A = this chain, B = another copy of it.
């Protein structure tokens, strides 16, 4: 079974997720600059989530590029990842509307944590489907970013209730470390 349709479907879902998030930014009723002020935290959380979805699309793109065989398990692991990403607009909206309050910030971290674990599961499913000569396995290597991120999300979830600014700082920081696309996969593909 080809991976073209898997990519197309994932692209469709990710494109919709990244775009419907903007619908949480409701058009205000007044026409003054003041009337935009309550939207500032909504806008900031939109930017953060846009970057996260962009990172996932980017790395998903690279991961599927290295994938050689699409099994039933890969299909479902991919849907599982899309499920958690589909909850990001909700978590983003809740966090933005409540000005980065404790519980919404923790939920946001929880969704990021689940998405990160779903990404890891998908990676393992592809490596298992490709067998011992898996290109992705070689490319991923030590995967320190993939291993570190969940722990940082856990710390951020805890910090949400004590030092909300730390939680946001971690969310932004993790995004920055991921902004660079996964060159390991590009290198592994070139070497082949």
Contact = CB atoms under 8 A, between A and B. Distances in A.
Nearest to A15: B12
Given A9-B57, A75-B58, A181-B72, A101 B31 contact: yes
A20 B18 contact: no
Nearest to A102: B31
Interface residues of A, number: 58
A28 to B, nearest CB: 7
A64 B135 CA distance: 28
B61 A27 contact: no
A16 B14 contact: no
User: Main SS of the interface on chain A?
Assistant: helix
User: Quick one: copies of this chain in the complex?
Assistant: 4
Interface in A21-78: 22-25, 27-29, 31-33, 36, 47, 50, 54, 57-58, 61-62, 65, 72, 75-76
Interface string A111-133: 00000000000000000000000
Given A72-B181, A79-B54, A102-B31, A186 B1 contact: yes
Contacts of A181: 72, 75
